[in-house]
Amino acid sequence: MRRSVGMEEGQFAEGVAKTLQNIQSVGNPWGLDPDERFAWAKDLDIPFAEPGVHYDILYWVGCSASYDKRNQKIARAMIKILRASGLSFAVMAEEMCNAEYARRVGEEYLFQIQTQMNIENLRQYTFSRILAHCPHCCNTLKNDYPEFERGQFNVISHVQFIAEQMDAGRIKASLSEKERIAVHDACYYARYNQIINAPRFDLNKVEGLETVNPKEWGCNTTCCGAGGGQFWTDTDASERLNVIRLKAIVDTTGCDKVATSCPFCLSMFDSAKSQDKSLSEISIADVAEIIAKNLK
């Protein structure tokens, strides 16, 4: 139905059309300079993939952590974790938006065009696995790309990768003081891919850190309000889902710290803090940030 409304009738929710145009013209939903995609890493000396060289991990950064200043901290944390793991890794200079949200709002043609370009670029390089810290990217690369020719890749989420490295003893983390933190499950990890234990394993492996589950968690998690392309739509709703969800997490756990595993969830909750004064003191951080900050 969305494809019919979007592609045949050209009807999209307010705010969506411009974002679709941005992806089509410059390869990212913000409409920012594609040459600045890796500006966040200028001081990190990260390796860019080269043809003929094998890498253990190809790190897919995604648009949010490439262009959003807050979420760039997640990407920087992942670089720190990747270096600590001792595995060979690289990023792809040609990376561009996978247009996941375009498919969700019904713009299937744009999604397929972006998919084909990304697959062609990925196939230039040799790597064992693609690592994605964005659940939207992870789900698309893992479950949508195999529909296309040569689109089969071994994809791992960042929370699973961190759990794997901690379980193997390659990375360890600890806190100087004990803390309790509530865990919010991202829809595309928990509800779509049953990745539920990994973020809790990661955090509980940090010495001094205890995780708490809100009332609705795991496969029954509540969306932060960004899914299905809603992140890019304009709304005049009197009570927004991001505020409702963050309030529920705080009220049912009693925690003033919340761990997320999705850059869009993090952005939505940061926005909720500014929309509701009662939430302004809540601390929000991605699992990767927490691990990287407390690495031994």
Q: Look at the chain and report how many structural domains it folds into.
A: 2
Same domain, 10 and 153: yes
pLDDT at 197: 97
pLDDT band at 239 (very low <50, low <70, confident <90, very high): confident
Give yes or no: residues 6 and 140 share one domain. Answer: yes
Domain identity same for 211 and 237: yes
- Both 26 and 98 in one domain: the answer is yes
Q: What is residue 111's predicted lDDT score, i.e. its pLDDT?
A: 95
Structure tokens that stand for 57 in this block: 């991990």
Residues 123 and 195 placed together within one structural domain of the fold? no
> Tell me, what's the pLDDT at 40?
97
DSSP string, 150-216: T----EEEHHHHHHHHHHTTS--BEEEEEEEEEEPPPHHHHHHH---HHHHHHHHTSEEEEEE--SS
CA–centroid distance for 269 within its chain:
14
Number of neighbours of residue 24 by Cβ within 10 angstroms? 16
Nearest to 250 by CA among 286, 289, 218, 276: 276
- Is the separation of the CB atoms in 194 and 170 below 8 Å? no
SS3 257: strand
109-145 residue pLDDT tens = 999 999 999 999 999 999 999 999 999 999 999 999 9
Tell me the residue range of the domain where 288 lies.
Answer: 172-293
- The last residue of one of the domains, among 163, 188, 203, is 163
Domain match, 197 and 150 both: no
Sheet containing 155-157: give its strands across: 89-90, 54-60, 126-132, 155-157
Burial status of residue 52 (CB atoms within 10 A of its CB: 0-12, 13-18, 19 or more): exposed
- Domain CATH code at residue 278: 3.40.50
Sequence-distant (6+) residues with CB within 8 A of 22 are: 28, 29, 30, 31
The residue whose two tokens read 């990287």 is 292
Residues 12 and 152 in one domain: yes
Pair 249, 289 in one domain: yes
Same domain assignment for residues 124 and 13? yes
**What pLDDT, in 10s, does the model give residues 46-87?**
999 999 999 999 999 999 999 999 999 999 999 999 999 999
Residues 76 and 114 in one domain: yes
State whether 231 and 266 are in the same domain: yes
Domain boundary among the residues 102, 137, 163 is at 163
Q: Looking at the structure, tell me whether residues 145 and 190 fall in a common domain.
A: no
Domain termination site, one of 110, 139, 163: 163
* pTM (two decimals): 0.95
- The pLDDT of residue 9 is above 80: no
- Can you tell me the mean pLDDT for 27-44? 96
